[in-house]
Chains A and B, each alone.
Chain A
């Protein structure tokens, strides 16, 4: 995909642009990294040090392993449970949302059917309703069907990912040509067969994008699990850590857990980075095949 021309590769102005642009990106990287660096540094400090030393550098007392040990020991290993929960919810939501959105995006992109415009407009319109309006009714609905305080209460609502539908539709419009589909039909393949063996392969970069976006959205979700879950054993890390942080900053009866929260925050960020790195593979491969059109 590089725009690098045949004779341009070694020109001085090109090399200059290369360094300049890399520099621009590097500057933004530093900005991006400052809060993350704070988490890393903070996770290595003791509680009193946290408040008295310079935030963006380490203290002389390196306490990371003790903090990690405290983190996983706190509340009888609650954090490991929460971590597992977050993973489970995010994975289910990510896979589910990607699948469902892909099917729907394909329908909107490649078919004409009664009610298409209305449905599409409805989906777009529903996105404009603030989440806070939906939380209480959702809570009551889940309570009625006895799903409250279960993993389903968190996963099911998050399978609805309208942004995914829009993204898939836009991508499929571009990436999957009608000629290809018609060719499949002429060959006698059924619609589902065309979708799964011909079209799907061309969609993988976008499907993996939607998966990542849905996974991360579910991983980060705080408000929904806060309302629909009561038992600590079902909490994801967002709710769990926020609870601990509230205890840390609170008054009578609470102990000071700032360092544990910092260590927990550090651990929360790592899995998603790893997930993203793994997904990269699909991107590289998929892009090469998806870009070549017949």
Chain B
């Protein structure tokens, strides 16, 4: 019965993406219905859940089958920014706050600062902590306090066009950033009109944070109401100098990102690589038409040869809001959505989110899968290994959105001719320090 229900859902036209065929995929479905084991006869509870990731309605339906006493009212109130805005609006009004909400890793500090997140540790969340990749659990918890159940992650790596690289005599992916810069110069010379990549600093502060994280950038540290802000330290300046050189030499483009043109640029070979995250390979597959088979995946370039330092870009968690009247049920829901093995498999196999549950990550069906789009490469293995090397010590600001806007604005100004990227960091530092002081923090 359940299989039939879920099958008809999965056969819907837009959801048909069968890149990860596997017996495991279809075999998992009937099992989802048989999960009612842990649910006991309890009072009926109704929860509201806000999230934007596709696949939510299906999993919510499956959860309700497993826990018949809990009814979930699912809403997609916007993707990213608008979703958080709605949360903030609801918190301001003091009403209309959902019980559970999608919460990206980088937004947790902001909502923690608003005292908006419930501690799921008190409702038993720590029971499943060993199921998750270590650094992801560290990022959502504070000792025994648990503010989110990890959902998916984005360990960083490199996707590159093998054909464009070969044209410049580069047979393997660059292993260090120095090699990457050299490759950039070569490609600009050998393939006019092509760039090794598009520098997206003015469009995507999330990417900026990701790549700087890898270099050791730790701009924020919050301790109560004391905050240390080091946005323009030497690490940032060196990084800025690196990219400034490439921009000035016209070895990288500075066009806007996340537009139709941008995707077309990857497809046509105008952009020969993308320093990206574990959710990127599948995104590429659905976005490209003509470059099938020409892409390869590789480890993220390192600053020192032989290193294996990886950062994370993106990824979400299931957070319970402090205003909930049903902490226990909300926690059960969050734990099931993130930690239940079959659910985690669904997120990976049907929605192509990069898994954070160890059992899914280490499943041979996932690791060994050969992607035609990537010339038969076992892409998941590369990112799975990367995931194990993510250094979790990066802290986002309790006002990260504001910081991101400033980074994007100032990078845009610099690219537009107002100084260098290094100058941009100085401007951002000044603005953010002023803002933090204005908001009552003691800035060190």
Contacts and interface: CB of A to CB of B under 8 A. Distances in A.
Complex contact flag A–B (Cβ < 8 Å): yes
Interface of A: 48, 50-52, 66, 69-70, 73-76, 136, 139-140, 143, 148-149, 226-227, 230-232, 243, 246-247, 249-258, 260
Interface residues of B, number: 45
A253 B14 contact: no
A59 to B, nearest CB: 12
Nearest to A244: B79
A224 to B, nearest CB: 13
B258 A249 contact: yes
B260 to A, nearest CB: 6
B96 A149 contact: yes
Interface stretch (B26-34, B70-78, B229-237): B70-78
Contacts of A256: 286-287
A148 B94 CA distance: 12
B82 A230 contact: no
Given A227-B89, A230-B90, 13 more contacts: A73-B12, A73-B13, A243-B78, A246-B78, A247-B52, A247-B79, A249-B258, A252-B314, A252-B316, A253-B152, A253-B279, A253-B351, A257-B14
A73 B14 contact: yes
A219 to B, nearest CB: 21
A159 B260 CA distance: 38
B259 A260 contact: no
Contacts of A52: 264, 267, 289-290
A124 B82 CA distance: 32
B359 to A, nearest CB: 21
Given A249-B258, A250-B80, A255 B13 contact: no
A252 B79 contact: no
Contacts of B154: 252
B279 A251 contact: yes
B93 interface: yes
B225 interface: no
B164 interface: no
B283 A230 contact: no
Contacts of A148: 93, 95-96
B399 interface: no
B14 A255 contact: yes
B392 interface: no
Contacts of A257: 14
